[in-house]
Amino acid sequence: MLKLSGLTHVYANGTRALDNASLDIPKGMFGLLGPNGAGKSTLMRCIATLQTPSAGSIQFGDIDVIKQPERLRATLGYLPQDFGVYPRVSAYDLLDHLAVLKGIAQRGERKDTVETLLTQVNLWDVRKKAVAGFSGGMRQRFGVAQALIGKPQLIIVDEPTAGLDPEERNRFNNLLAEIGEQVVVILSTHIVEDVADLCPRMAVLAQGRIVQTGVPQELTRSLQGRVWRRSIAAAELSRYQAEMTVIANRLRGGQTVIHVLADACPEAGFEPIEGSLEDLYFATLAQSRRSAQASAAAAA
């Protein structure tokens, strides 16, 4: 199990990216949801020993991650949001080079590792092609392959499906699900559907704080009977936002459709709907913003 306790990180410019974040992450797929700027990448980088938090602790099994970063790196696989590649190096040669850096010195063992991984991520047929020429989905699958070198017990993937087409996204998610059966896999994303599809447990990060955690299906039950939907004219949106807790609005068939959180029907014309994980996510973010605004007003 990975255990985060009181994790805080303040950058030199005063930005508080993490604020007393505590979380227990068991074996399997774990989804970390949050909007851009919520602190997800900072949290992932702290876990991956790429930066040291200002305060708090990180424990993975018997490893004190902050005091023993080299022990964690020996059992870590990391796919960052962006990773660079050499422009003219083939997938096979680059993976072989990364295996050397990971400590697999024997040529025979390295050959078995590289061939197994390229087959697992369905890149064997393009192993001689330069990774720089891969499509976005192929690059992400190569990223998974390099993250799996050395049979890690903790794998971190940061925004892995952003920019992928639906077919590549499904292929990538199926690969992650297969990997997540054996080890701890943290999926950091802002795509709610990926978490709903893949993760038996999840947390929501907002403004550097863990504001929700649990089993997705159980969390959405808290919305039962509290989510209402209505189509409105676009010009009416500001009124509804001022008078009600609008948790989502989107265009559908040329009309603006809003989802409102309320214990009873807000007004005539609304219909009750079953709350989704996306509704829970937006409702959690809305509550977090209101709490932050109230705290700021009280401090002022």
Backbone φ and ψ for 279, nearest 5 degrees, come out as -60, -45
Cα separation, 73 vs 70, in Å, equals 5
Is residue 293 pLDDT above 90, yes or no?
Answer: no
Query: Mean pLDDT of all residues in the chain?
Result: 90
Nearest to 19 by CA among 35, 42, 1, 2: 42
pLDDT of 60: 96
C-alpha–C-alpha distance, residues 206 and 8, integer Å: 13
**pLDDT value for 75:** 93
Residue 114 CA to residue 25 CA, distance in Å, equals 29
Report the range of poorest mean pLDDT among 112-116, 153-157, 201-205, 286-290: 286-290
Given phi > 0 = left and psi -120 to 50 = alpha, else beta, which region is 52? beta
> Is the pLDDT assigned to residue 294 strictly greater than 90?
no
Is the pLDDT reported for residue 19 higher than 70?
A: yes
pLDDT tens per residue across span 163-193? 778 888 888 888 888 888 889 999 998 889 8
pLDDT value at 159 more than 90:
no
Q: For position 175, what pLDDT does the model report? A: 84
Confidence class for position 8, pLDDT limits 50, 70, 90: very high
Say how many Å lie between the first and final Cα of the chain, rounded: 41
pLDDT of residue 173: 84
Q: Is the pLDDT of residue 18 over 70?
A: yes
Q: Is pLDDT above 90 for 161?
A: no
Residues comprising the chain, all counted: 300
CB 205 within 8 A of CB 37: no
DSSP H stretches of helix in the chain: 40-47, 69-73, 91-101, 107-120, 136-147, 166-179, 192-198, 216-221, 237-243, 277-299
Question: How confident is residue 125, by pLDDT bands cut at 50, 70 and 90?
Answer: very high
Q: What pLDDT was estimated at residue 190? A: 84
Among the residue ranges 54-58, 141-145, 172-176, 198-202, the one predicted with the least confidence is 172-176
Phi/psi at 155 (5° precision): -125, 130
Q: In the chain, what percentage of residues exceed pLDDT 70? A: 98
Separation in Å, CA 172 to CA 159, 168, 215, 267: 12, 6, 22, 43
In this prediction, residue 100 carries a pLDDT of 93
- pLDDT score of 29 more than 80: yes
Mean pLDDT (whole number) for 40-47 = 93
Mean pLDDT along residues 282-292: 83
Say if residue 266's pLDDT is above 90: yes
| pLDDT (0 to 100) of residue 300 | 67
Output the pLDDT for position 228. 96
